[in-house]
Amino acid sequence: MSATTQLPATPTPPSASSPAGGDAPRPPQRLRRGALRSERPGVRIAAWATVVVCGGFGLLPVYWLLATSLTPRDQVFSYPPKFFPSAPTLDAFAALASNEQLFGYLRNSVIVSVLTAVLSVLVSAYMGYSFSKFRYRGRRSLMYLVLASQMFPQALLLVTLYSVFSAYNLLNTYTALVLSFTTFTLPLCVWMLKGFFDTIPDELIEAARVDGASRLRIIHSIVLPLAAPGLIAAGLFAFVRGWNDFVFALTLAGPEKQTLPPGLVNTFIGEASTAWPELMAASLVVSLPVAIAFIALQKYLVGGLTAGAVKG
């Protein structure tokens, strides 16, 4: 097609509200304005109030985290509570900066979470593809079996995994953490990616086969690139799961491989007291990488989670 060729105008159905019927030329249809920009003040106020309440619900804890991290320890529980710290201090952040152990926890968290994300994506991509594009006896049962593993209480699996890792001398290693985290992330990742692969037309794969592509070539050169948003979503989910885990990291990691969640509790929560400003400051700092990753990749996460949710 020539570059100068004009595309035919898209026919538009007659508007029911148009007094001139289908023959009159229509201005381009504007996007429907949301309630926030409604011209009716009542609707607008209600919409803004909803946004403020929902926003406050989500953001107030984050603000309180920040405010507590800037409050001297002897004023944390002052009564009545102060919304703004009366004598803000950076002491808690300074204490963090001088705590070398926390950097060790941070390093361990990064290593374990990244490896969990990579392993989860790697395994679940092939599993998801198999469930989506192959037909074999027991496929559906296997799919639900994978999902059913999510229904076991974590404490039950913890004892089992502890025994297995102990028997194979894997306790206190990154391997133990990565394998155990992957155990939990895999079911959701598999289902998420299966949904994504379902949206890739079978005809595309058929065409590649006709062109002589091998199965592996089809997966690696055609399907996986198309499923990149889903892979990112699955990886992000697995990363966050590895980043946040407490019980498994505490039990399987040992002191040298301890990750941030148990590390922070161990460092700041004692038998009789809790160093709240330091704990809040540390929580704030360690949340940042995850928050940044989320903001940067949120469109993929939403896309990945909802892929396959709607047919058609």
By CB under 8 A, name the binding residues for other proteins.
73-79, 130, 132-138, 159, 162-164, 166-168, 171, 198, 202, 205-206, 215, 250-251, 255, 262, 265-267, 269-275
Closer residue to other proteins, CB minimum distance, 234 or 264: 264
**Entry field: residues in the chain:** 312
- The β-bridge partners of 220 are none
Please give the DSSP secondary-structure letter assigned to residue 75.
G
In the complex, the smallest distance separating the C-beta of residue 206 from other proteins, rounded to whole angstroms, is 7
Q: How far is the CB of 258 from other proteins (least distance, A)?
A: 10
Q: Which is nearer to other proteins, 236 or 267 (CB)?
A: 267
The residue among 120 and 251 lying less far from other proteins, judged by its C-beta, is 251
Looking at the Cβ atoms of 235 and 308, the one nearer to other proteins is 308
> Closest Cα to residue 234, out of 144, 117, 132?
117
Is the CB of 72 or the CB of 289 nearer to other proteins?
A: 72
Q: Is the dihedral of CA 15, 19, 24, 25 positive or negative?
A: negative
Specify the DSSP class assigned to residue 269: B
Is-cis flag, bond preceding 80, omega within 30?
Answer: yes
Within 10 A of 5 (CB to CB), how many other CB atoms are there?
7
Q: Which residue has the tokens 């949340």?
A: 287
Please report how close the Cβ of residue 3 comes to other proteins at its closest, in angstroms: 37
CB of 135 to other proteins, least distance (A): 4
* Min dist. Cβ of residue 237 to other proteins (A): 22
Place of tokens 């990886």: 235
